[in-house]
Amino acid sequence: MQYRRLGRSGLQVSELSLGSWVTYHNQVDVAAAREMLAAAFDAGINFFDNAEVYAGGQSEVVMGEALKALKWPRLNYIVSTKFFWGLDRDGQAANRKDTLNRKYLTQAIDGSLKRMGLDFIDLVYCHRPDPFTPIEETVWAMSDMISQGKALYWGTSEWSGDDIRAAWDIAEKHHLHKPAMEQPQYHLFHRQRVEQEYARLYQDIGLGLTTWSPLASGLLTGKYRNGIPEGSRGAVKGMGFLIPELTDTAKNAAVAQLASIAVDLGCSLSQMAIAWVAHNPKVSTVITGASKLSQLQDNLGAVDVIAKLSPEIMARIDQITTPLL
């Protein structure tokens, strides 16, 4: 496992990391989480991603209990969470959902710290942009989290390049803690934001990337070529919105072609797809997910594939995938 700086910060994150979206609480209990966190840590992973909204806060609880049981020195691992959606999804719930205002953010960080049983969280993200709250208000609130010792670095997730730059400029103007990282979706069929929209930000402000969904929610494993298999992410309650993408005929045909390249590389299709994301030097870490240990172990094999992605192999992959972007 190699380690990369998180953008222009001094923090070093493992090139692969482990996330909890969909899986924790829904498919993974504390015992399974502890087993997979231990396996990931033993393989060199030091970053574990979470969010307030995952499983209505229970994902943070599961991860926190597993970390407590593992008793690792706090300096040895990095934990994240994200704020925006809130926990009260029903009813009006003013100031409790779909916002990045100061009132919500100030209380959201305290809730996450309590659920995870931590004194501070390493990385905190604004999970989505909030068009109804001035960016300046959000920047001050996020910077205050760091000044108060409740978080170490803050960033954004699925923000536009213009909004990230605006937030950075506000922080620069007022000598506040600047956004250090963005968490965008990035995989073979979803590239524009990372490769084009953010292009100036890597050099101009030193933006780091902690990318999610390298397997396109499982599409790039090949498991959806014949529909939605039982026990898969597409079959999980509340994940129905993924089905049109997972069963897309053209993309599944492309996945079948990609499988032959993986065979030539001597790796699984999943490993090749994850390695492709990590091959981009702008990516600080690739967040992977797993509902069982065998999936995690297969994903970890991607670290040995990164160096095998020669210009010729990358060109073959592009020939298959770029027509579908």
Looking at residue 86, which CATH number applies to its domain?
Answer: 3.20.20.100
The answer to whether position 104 is within a domain reads yes
pLDDT above 90: percentage of residues in the chain: 88
Cα–Cα dist 74/260, whole Å: 43
Q: Which of 98, 103, 59, 106 is nearest to 81 (CA)?
A: 59
User: Residues 295, 9: contact at Cβ < 8 Å?
Assistant: no
Q: How are beta strands 3-5 and 12-14 bridged, if at all?
A: antiparallel
Q: Flag whether pLDDT at 54 surpasses 90.
A: yes
The answer to whether position 232 is within a domain reads no
CA dihedral 180, 283, 289, 117 (to 10 degrees): -20
For the chain, how many structural domains are there in total? Answer: 1
Work out the pLDDT band at 233, boundaries 50, 70, 90: low
The answer to whether position 275 is within a domain reads no
Cα–Cα dist 235/102, whole Å: 37
The residues pairing with 124 across neighbouring beta strands, listed in sequence order, are 81, 154
Residue 115: both structure tokens together: 């659920």
- Residue 231: which residues within 8 A CB-CB, separation 6 or more? none
Cα–Cα dist 254/172, whole Å: 44
Identify which has the larger pLDDT, 239 or 190.
190
User: Residues 122, 80: contact at Cβ < 8 Å?
Assistant: yes
Query: At 238, phi and psi to the nearest 5?
Result: 90, -5
Query: Which domain range does residue 94 map to?
Result: 3-216+280-300
Q: Flag whether pLDDT at 228 surpasses 80.
A: no
Cα–Cα dist 209/275, whole Å: 15
The answer to whether position 249 is within a domain reads no
**Residue 214, CB half-sphere, CA atoms under 13 Å: how many?**
30
- Residue positions annotated with a catalytic role: 54
The answer to whether position 170 is within a domain reads yes
**Residue 153, CB half-sphere, CA atoms under 13 Å: how many?**
24
The answer to whether position 274 is within a domain reads no
Cα–Cα dist 143/151, whole Å: 9
How much is the average pLDDT of 288-292?
93
Element (H, E) at 262: helix 249-265
Q: Which of 22, 26, 24, 50 is nearest to 36 (CA)?
A: 24
The answer to whether position 47 is within a domain reads yes
pLDDT computed for residue 136 by the predictor: 98
Angle subtended at Cα 171 by Cα 170 and Cα 176, rounded to the nearest 5 degrees: 145
Q: Flag whether pLDDT at 231 surpasses 70.
A: no
pTM of the predicted protein model: 0.94
Per-residue model confidence as pLDDT tens digits over 94-149:
899 999 999 999 999 999 999 999 999 999 999 999 999 999 999 999 999 999 99
